[in-house]
């Protein structure tokens, strides 16, 4: 089998190639962002145009009615009595004013609703507040730990807006505007949870000096697995990176208790059947051709402990497991147990990850 998928282990790409790839990715991201902005402005212009047309129709209708009523009031009257079918001008003006106010009240909320009362599912709202990921928010809601306007809500899809009072842990929560993105080179013996009842060390202890915002890990690395881990309070990005349809790539370096045989190598590429279904590696390779106990494996599945289970299914004991790449992010220049903030270009690439592929799949 060709080792090209794992050239990064033996022959890194030239800087000129990397720069060109990033340049092209940046150019594509700019085009997609410009298209999204134009679409948003087109929608706003359409709403404004519809509101303007409604106002014009209302004005034209009232103007026409005013002419008719004025003509009626000018008709001859007998013995000081009003002609049949006419009303005083003052009454007509008052009715016109009331109707205009009603028209204005119907038109005005079009913009108010879009600007101030955007609705979203409750689990998504909690994620945007920096409480946890959408998936974890579902469990929190089902346990009755969240109240909306004083009432406990058990349905994650319940619609809320920023005008509602959403309370979690007896504290009102708000949508987070200060988004934080941190990459950690996780060491062993740390668990990827925000807190642990057993008092074990968590990854939050590694970043306690980084920010005052409440952040949480994207995905999980088990206690004995080290390597790249992303932490953020961006619920939307967390949902995207966790969703199977985005096929986020992960590369691991596994150290086995014995050399991986050619037969088992081929089995992993073809796919092995585990208790929760069949799974195949996207790419596989020996990191060092002279030492076949160290294996590079690329996979996009988000199943729990999937890499360890693949090797254990074939009779190997994984002595060490290190994630060297996650969604294009590496631990380069980040020592074990340390962290760094993501650069703006890295954040942009994460937000547009696999977007082109998904668009093509949707069009098929």
pLDDT over 90, % of the chain = 38
Q: Is 306 part of a structural domain of the chain?
A: yes
Q: Is 130 left (phi over 0), alpha (psi -120 to 50) or beta?
A: left
Grade residue 32 by pLDDT with cuts at 50, 70 and 90. Answer: confident
- Residue 313: give the domain boundaries: 249-326
Task: Please classify residue 323 by burial: count the beta carbons closer than 10 Å to its beta carbon, then call 0-12 exposed, 13-18 middle and 19+ buried.
Answer: buried
Average pLDDT over residues 236-246: 83
Q: In this predicted structure, what is the pLDDT of residue 224?
A: 92
Residue 253 sits at φ, ψ, to 5 deg, of -115, 115
Q: Does residue 315 share a domain with residue 185?
A: no
pLDDT: which is higher, 137 or 320: 320
Active site residue 222: yes
**Which of 131, 307, 280 is CA-nearest to residue 225?**
307
Could you report the per-residue pLDDT of 90-117, keeping only the tens digit for each?
445 455 554 555 544 443 333 334 444 5
The CATH number for 292's domain is 3.30.2350.10
Contacts with 349 (C-beta within 8 Å, 6 or more apart), sequence order: 25, 29, 328
The three-state secondary structure class of 21 is helix
Q: Catalytic: which of 165, 222, 257, 288?
A: 222
Grade residue 357 by pLDDT with cuts at 50, 70 and 90. Answer: low
Q: Which residue's structure tokens are 């129709």?
A: 57
Q: In this predicted structure, what is the pLDDT of residue 75?
A: 52
Could you report the per-residue pLDDT of 248-297, keeping only the tens digit for each?
999 999 999 999 999 999 999 999 999 989 999 999 999 998 899 999 99
Q: In this predicted structure, what is the pLDDT of residue 148?
A: 93
Cα separation of 28 and 248, whole Å?
19
Domain count, the chain: 4
Could you report the per-residue pLDDT of 138-162, keeping only the tens digit for each?
999 999 999 999 999 999 999 998 7
**Which of 312, 290, 293 is CA-nearest to residue 254?**
293
Q: Does residue 198 share a domain with residue 150?
A: no
Q: Does residue 222 share a domain with residue 353?
A: yes
Residue 2 has pLDDT above 90, yes or no: no
Angle ∠(25,307,5) on CA atoms, nearest 5: 40
Q: Is 332 part of a structural domain of the chain?
A: no
Q: Does residue 273 share a domain with residue 286?
A: yes
Q: Does residue 346 share a domain with residue 230?
A: yes
Cα separation of 361 and 364, whole Å?
5
Q: Does residue 354 share a domain with residue 208?
A: yes
Residue 183 near residue 329 (C-beta atoms within 8 A): yes
Q: In this predicted structure, what is the pLDDT of residue 100?
A: 52
Tokens for 55, please give them. Answer: 């106002």
Q: Does residue 270 share a domain with residue 215?
A: no
Cα–Cα separations (whole angstroms), residue 229 to 145, 170, 325: 28, 30, 9
pLDDT over 70, % of the chain = 77
First-to-last alpha carbon distance for the chain, in angstroms, is: 31
Q: Does residue 234 share a domain with residue 358?
A: yes
Q: Is 2 part of a structural domain of the chain?
A: no
**Count of beta carbons in the 10 Å neighbourhood of residue 202:** 17
Residue 168 near residue 126 (C-beta atoms within 8 A): yes
Q: Does residue 234 share a domain with residue 350?
A: yes
**Count of beta carbons in the 10 Å neighbourhood of residue 359:** 10
Could you report the per-residue pLDDT of 188-239, keeping only the tens digit for each?
999 988 777 888 899 999 998 888 888 889 988 999 999 999 999 888 788 8
Average pLDDT over residues 238-251: 86
Cα–Cα separations (whole angstroms), residue 121 to 138, 153, 323, 346: 10, 11, 33, 28
What is the pLDDT of the chain when averaged over all its residues? 80
Q: Does residue 301 share a domain with residue 265?
A: yes
Contacts with 153 (C-beta within 8 Å, 6 or more apart), sequence order: 122, 141, 146, 147
Highest mean pLDDT pick, 46-55, 126-135, 164-173, 219-228: 219-228
Q: Is 135 part of a structural domain of the chain?
A: yes
Q: Does residue 125 share a domain with residue 109?
A: no
Could you report the per-residue pLDDT of 36-49, keeping only the tens digit for each?
888 877 777 778 78
Tokens for 189, please give them. Answer: 């013996």
């Amino acid at each position: 089998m060709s080792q090209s998928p794992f050239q990064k282990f033996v022959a890194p790409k030239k800087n000129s190639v990397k720069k060109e790839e990033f340049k092209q990715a940046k150019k594509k991201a700019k085009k997609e962002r410009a298209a999204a902005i134009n679409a948003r402005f087109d929608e706003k212009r359409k709403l404004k145009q519809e509101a303007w047309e409604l106002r014009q129709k209302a004005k034209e209708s009232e103007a026409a009615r005013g002419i008719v009523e004025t003509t009626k009031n000018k008709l001859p009257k007998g013995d000081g009595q009003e002609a049949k079918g006419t009303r005083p001008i003052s009454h007509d003006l008052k009715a016109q004013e009331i109707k205009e106010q009603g028209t204005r009240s119907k038109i005005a909320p079009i913009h108010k609703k879009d600007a101030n009362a955007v609705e979203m599912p409750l689990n998504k709202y909690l994620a945007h507040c920096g409480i946890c990921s959408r998936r974890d928010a579902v469990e929190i809601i089902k346990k009755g730990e969240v109240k909306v306007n004083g009432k406990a809500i058990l349905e994650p899809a319940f619609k809320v807006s920023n005008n509602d009072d959403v309370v979690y842990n007896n504290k009102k929560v708000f949508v987070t505007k200060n988004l934080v993105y941190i990459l950690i080179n996780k060491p062993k013996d740390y668990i990827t949870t925000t807190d642990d009842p057993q008092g074990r060390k968590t990854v939050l202890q590694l970043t306690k000096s980084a920010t005052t915002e409440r952040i949480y890990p994207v995905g999980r690395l088990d206690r004995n697995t080290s390597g790249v881990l992303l932490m953020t309070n961006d619920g939307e990005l967390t949902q995207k990176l966790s969703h199977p349809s985005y096929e986020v790539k992960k590369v691991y370096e596994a150290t086995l208790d014995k050399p991986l045989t050619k037969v088992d190598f081929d089995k992993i590429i073809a796919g092995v059947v585990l208790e929760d279904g069949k799974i195949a590696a996207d790419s596989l390779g020996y990191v060092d051709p002279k030492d076949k106990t160290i294996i590079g494996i690329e996979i996009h599945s988000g199943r729990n402990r999937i890499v360890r289970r693949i090797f254990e299914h074939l009779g190997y004991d994984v002595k060490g497991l290190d994630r060297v790449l996650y969604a294009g992010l590496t631990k380069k220049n980040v020592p074990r147990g340390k962290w760094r903030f993501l650069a703006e270009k890295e954040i942009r690439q994460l937000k547009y990850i696999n977007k082109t592929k998904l668009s093509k799949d949707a069009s098929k």
